[in-house]
Structure 1
Amino acid sequence: MTKTLAIIGARLNSSRLAGKHLLPLQCDAMGHTQPIISHILNRLKQCKTINTIELATTADEFNQPLIDWAQLNALACIPFLGDVNDLMGRLDIIIKRQQPDFIVYICGDCPLIDPDFIDHALTALVASDRDTITLKESVLSLHEGMAFYSKEGWNKLMAVSTSAMSREHVGYGDKLNPVLRALAIDDCGDYSKVSHRISVDTQADYRFMAEIYRRWYLSHHIDTIVSLSWVQDELLKDPVLFAINAHVKQKAADKNYSKASIYCHLGPQIGLGHFKRSELVTDALQEYLSIGVTIHAYSETGQKVDSSSNIVWHENEQALLATLNEDLNPLILLDFHPSFINLELLKNGLSQLAKRGIKRIGIDKMVPLLDELDWLFIPSFNSPEHHPKISAGWKNYLFSPIPQTEKQAQILVLTGGSDALGYGQKLPMMLDSIDSSWPILWVQGPLAPAPLLAKDSSIVVKQNPENLKELIAESEIILSCYGLSLFESIYGKAATLLLPPKHLCDKAELIALKQEECCLISNSLKEAKSMLQQLLTKSELRNSLQNKATRVFESHQGVQALIDDIRRLLGTAI
């Protein structure tokens, strides 16, 4: 009997999306989920030509959750003790132990591998005398994440996989020194109608895949698997779905990519905006430019925030700036509030970076450091001064995607990640005094204290909700403090009321914002109450604000504007 071994290769140390194999994807109409790698295993179990399945991962502590998952799912896994980058060695030790006749290597980040194609390819390979299979030159296909070898073919590949790159990337040794006899086959179906990424290597890829799985299980039974031909049809008819990760740049196996560092801070006084924006910029650099990014962060209170990005947490500001002084990455981005950082120490650090030829980009309110920066990107409609090194405007706002959905008669309250202005103490009382049947949702940020609610309050508190973007998209009226949440609300076409901003922005900026007429601006809670009552009773006022919101963001580019600036700054260095 022919023995065919499928090996799933997976490590949680991905430079672009750490922990991706255990990210959840929907598995039924009720919204229950399974990790990406579970969906891959389920799809392999449907293959008729595979006898044995094993997980190939490494024996470091970071990958222990994968090892635990394999044990829980009765999947064979003996963690590799060798070099963590030696993927070929990691697979070969399994193959030597299992002694299969044929091998299928499965990338652990592709939850749309097609069982029919795997059976089709293996059947053809088994019936031939060749070492591997490939699609005929005339065939275009969506398939990703699979490689097929006979035992003899695998041994040939191992023999020529001697360089670091060929040990790290399956099949790359044959590109450098072709030794494999390939059987060219037709596809098992027509997957040539669209070209699109179906691997999960970035946040955008994950958003795409999560949406694919969500749509499938809205109308399909839990026992089914997502059909790749259905995915192709969805991509053809829905440009919004297509665009989710169409911009992601595939990393080449033979190229060393640039690296970058982002420095930021967060806390009750500082807020969470600088950190969240750093995460967004990290994703953009990885997706558009394949630049590996490390975020260096300092928290006022020492409280860390969960993140899928590569984060180095520093004990204090001095430790953070000391690391900055010694950073060797060719690109450094800084996202600090200048009122909460030692500017002299920061200037000294930037001077050291300049001597090493490192490019330095500031984000947002860093005009005081302009002389020490190569570029200042202000994600705001308002720039305090005009300068050839400054980019600003409505086009620059940095938002993660906000879905398009029908508005609901509800009030959403956004007081920021830390409620730095303390609205949780007084605002609930004002909201409870409003004569309205509209439900009120209060978003409590991850660093914010709980709002002070009366026992009979009708306000519903959502503590750091994962679906915040959906809440913004669906809410007819939003009350927001000044900051990213305000402009996300405007961008989400809500009738938006700015709560008294106090010290968060200067008078000139408020005057400029008022001239845009895209939100209401209150100077006190008493005035905010009056404005909210107007919004609730006057649909024409809500419609006007929503129309103005569309106008101010009609030229919005978001992260693309920042990426274009970085490309120009780095030139051929990327």
Structure 2
Amino acid sequence: MVVIVVQARMASTRLPGKVLLPVLGKSILALMIERLQMIQHQAVFVIATSVNPEDDIIEQEARLLNIPCYRGDQNNLLDRHYQAALLHNADIVLKIPSDCPLIDPRIIDQTLTYFFEDTIAHDYVSNLHPATWPDGNDVEIMTMACLKQAWENAEKNLELEHTTPYIWENPQLFSIGNVSWETGLDYSMSHRFTIDYQEDYLFIKRVFEELYPANKNFSCADILDLLNSKPEIYQINTSYAGVNWYRNHLNELKTIQPEQTKQAPVSQ
């Protein structure tokens, strides 16, 4: 059983309630779930949120989307993922953050196919170590045994908060695979398709407005073509390209280099 766990919560220091912001009459979370359901592989989807009262609305949205909702600890995302996967009898677990509404279903399929078909039996496969696709196409796949081992042994706050660092920071303990963008390009620090700031919301909203009406299953390549033809859209959130959570933990992360992140621009 493949279980895709989508972590979502209303509390966000930079953009509160970002997953329920409206785009084309739907929430960002609804549009993201719609894209996830376009994958070719068979999977069960679970929205994992916190037990905090402000996340009642996430559970309500999950019900409207007819997606199971698991509620757990606000800050221990590792436990939240593990418990949600356990509840749904997962053999394979996919971690997809809810701040990736433009994620290309084809990239998820490509990463899953690699996981299942590679000659090496991997415990963990992602497209993030190193990342090459535009930020916001994050796919992490792990066996339930791998997730359980992390759940039993992870202790650092960043390992609990971000679910998978214990795995990819300990390559001596796990068989780890990575899928790179077949173009040979690396847009991970130059293109930002994820949502954490108001500018990201305006960018994502514009991309959906441009592409979704004609083709709901638009691809990463379609977005890049749009940005090439209308560079003003690329400019909306380009100042945040390369900004990710690594920036706050460079002194703790062994496998992440300083050039894989950058500080957020100072607000005007």
Which TM-score bucket, shorter chain as reference? 0.7 to 0.9
Higher relative CO (CA 8 A, sep ≥ 6), structure 1 or 2?
A: 2
Deviation at 1:99, TM superposition (A): 2.2
Of structures 1 and 2, the larger Rg is shown by 1
Secondary structure of residue in 2 paired with 1:57: strand
What do residues 331-360 of structure 1 show as CA deviations (whole Å, max 9, x unaligned)? xxxxxxxxxxxxxxxxxxxxxxxxxxxxxx
> Does residue 209 of the first structure (1) align with residue 174 of the second (2)?
no
Q: Hey, what's the Cα distance between the residues in 2 that align with 1:35 and 1:215?
A: 17
1:234 to 203, 219, 226: 226
Deviation at 1:48, TM superposition (A): 2.1
Secondary structure of residue in 2 paired with 1:104: strand
Alignment of 1:159-558 (within 5 A): 159-178=152-171, 179-187=173-181, 190=183, 192=185, 194=187, 195-217=190-212, 220-221=214-215, 224-248=216-240, 250-253=243-246, 255=248, 288-289=265-266
With normalisation by structure 2, the TM-score equals 0.83
Q: Report the AA paired with residue 65 of structure 1.
A: I
Deviation at 1:136, TM superposition (A): 9.5
Q: Hey, what's the Cα distance between the residues in 1 that align with 2:128 and 2:96?
A: 21
What do residues 149-192 of structure 1 show as CA deviations (whole Å, max 9, x unaligned)? 122222233244211111001222235433321123343x5383
- Contact between 1:141 and 1:191, CA under 8 Å: does it hold in 2? no
User: 2:82 — aligned with what?
Assistant: 92
- Contact between 1:102 and 1:149, CA under 8 Å: does it hold in 2? yes
User: 1:76 — aligned with what?
Assistant: 68
With normalisation by structure 1, the TM-score equals 0.40
C-alpha change, 1:61 and 1:103, in structure 2 (3 Å) is: same
Q: Hey, what's the Cα distance between the residues in 2 that align with 1:191 and 1:112?
A: 21
What do residues 477-515 of structure 1 show as CA deviations (whole Å, max 9, x unaligned)? xxxxxxxxxxxxxxxxxxxxxxxxxxxxxxxxxxxxxxx
1:109 to 99, 102, 110: 99
Deviation at 1:79, TM superposition (A): 1.6
User: 2:124 — aligned with what?
Assistant: 132
C-alpha change, 1:121 and 1:193, in structure 2 (3 Å) is: closer
2:150 to 147, 157, 160: 157
Secondary structure of residue in 1 paired with 2:23: strand
What do residues 264-321 of structure 1 show as CA deviations (whole Å, max 9, x unaligned)? xxxxxxxxxxxxxxxxxxxxxx9524xxxxxxxxxxxxxxxxxxxxxxxxxxxxxxxx
User: 2:258 — aligned with what?
Assistant: none
- Contact between 2:32 and 2:103, CA under 8 Å: does it hold in 1? yes
Q: Report the AA paired with residue 115 of structure 1.
A: P
What do residues 408-439 of structure 1 show as CA deviations (whole Å, max 9, x unaligned)? xxxxxxxxxxxxxxxxxxxxxxxxxxxxxxxx
Q: Hey, what's the Cα distance between the residues in 2 that align with 1:13 and 1:139?
A: 27
Deviation at 1:50, TM superposition (A): 3.1
User: 2:38 — aligned with what?
Assistant: 46
Q: Hey, what's the Cα distance between the residues in 2 that align with 1:138 and 1:288?
A: 24
C-alpha change, 1:135 and 1:164, in structure 2 (3 Å) is: closer
User: 2:257 — aligned with what?
Assistant: none
What do residues 24-49 of structure 1 show as CA deviations (whole Å, max 9, x unaligned)? 112xxxxxx21111111111111121
- Contact between 2:6 and 2:97, CA under 8 Å: does it hold in 1? yes
- Contact between 1:193 and 1:232, CA under 8 Å: does it hold in 2? no
User: Quick one: percent identity of the two aligned structures?
Assistant: 22
- Contact between 1:10 and 1:107, CA under 8 Å: does it hold in 2? yes
C-alpha change, 1:41 and 1:134, in structure 2 (3 Å) is: closer
User: 2:21 — aligned with what?
Assistant: 23
- Contact between 1:191 and 1:232, CA under 8 Å: does it hold in 2? no
- Contact between 1:204 and 1:287, CA under 8 Å: does it hold in 2? no
Instruction: Note the aligned Cα RMSD (angstroms).
Output: 2.5
Deviation at 1:132, TM superposition (A): 1.5
Secondary structure of residue in 1 paired with 2:248: coil
2:52 to 41, 45, 60: 60
C-alpha change, 1:11 and 1:202, in structure 2 (3 Å) is: same
C-alpha change, 1:124 and 1:23, in structure 2 (3 Å) is: same
C-alpha change, 1:191 and 1:105, in structure 2 (3 Å) is: farther
Deviation at 1:122, TM superposition (A): 1.1
- Contact between 2:133 and 2:180, CA under 8 Å: does it hold in 1? no
- Contact between 1:165 and 1:254, CA under 8 Å: does it hold in 2? no
- Contact between 1:202 and 1:287, CA under 8 Å: does it hold in 2? no
> Does residue 147 of the first structure (1) align with residue 124 of the second (2)?
no
Stretches (4+) displaced over 4 A:
135-139
Q: Which sections of structure 1, spanning at least 5 residues, go unmatched?
A: 27-32, 257-285, 290-558, 563-574
Deviation at 1:217, TM superposition (A): 3.7
Deviation at 1:139, TM superposition (A): 7.7
Q: Hey, what's the Cα distance between the residues in 1 that align with 2:27 and 2:183?
A: 28
Secondary structure of residue in 1 paired with 2:125: strand
Of 135-144 and 156-165, deviating more is 135-144
Secondary structure of residue in 2 paired with 1:13: coil
Number of residue-to-residue matches in the alignment: 248
C-alpha change, 1:14 and 1:137, in structure 2 (3 Å) is: closer
Q: Report the AA paired with residue 206 of structure 1.
A: Y
